[in-house]
Amino acid sequence: MKRPKLAKLEVRILEVLWAKGSASMREIQQAFPDPRPAYTTITNTIYRMEIKKVVLRARKVGTADIFEPLIARDAARENLLDEILGFFGGRAQPMMAQLIESGKLTLDDIRELEKAAVEADRKRTADRRRNSK
């Protein structure tokens, strides 16, 4: 199944839904810091997200529709990362170089990433050994 591209506001709405589990459009709008997007902006965006099958109109409470996320945070994060990597030819190294040049990635960050990479490699190796038995 093709994963939908998400606009910045759609990701922000999903953040609210992931935190709350489910919410009405008004609750979603109220979760935004000032200046909040207009209520009509939220409603139009949520309806587009429903068409994309990113949110589900789960139930109705009084006159309010209650929405739930249909996409997991990890899946959305992976989509976004794939999209960003696309700007760098699908490779992480040019993206990391850009982050270093902009000052958003420090030597301490790189050291932590190296530890995480070593641990992930260890885990993948252990999983392969376990699955080959």
Distance CA 30, CA 37 (A): 9
- Nearest CA among 16, 17, 26 for reference residue 69: 17
- CA 123 from centre of chain: 24
Distance CA 9, CA 40 (A): 13
**What local confidence, expressed as pLDDT, does residue 2 receive?**
66
Q: Supply 123's token pair.
A: 């885990």
Q: How confident is the model at residue 5 (pLDDT cuts 50, 70, 90)?
A: confident
Domain ranges of the chain: 8-69, 91-132
Distance CA 111, CA 85 (A): 21
pLDDT digits (tens, 9 = 90+) for 14-30: 999 999 999 999 999 99
**What local confidence, expressed as pLDDT, does residue 1 receive?**
54
pLDDT digits (tens, 9 = 90+) for 64-80: 999 999 999 998 999 88
Residue 69 host element (H or E): strand 64-69
Does the domain at 8-69 match CATH 1.10.3470.10? Answer given as no
b/e per residue 47-81 (b: at least 16 CB within 10 A):
eebeeeebbeeeeeeeeebbbebbbeeeebeebee
Q: Which amino acid is at 32?
A: F
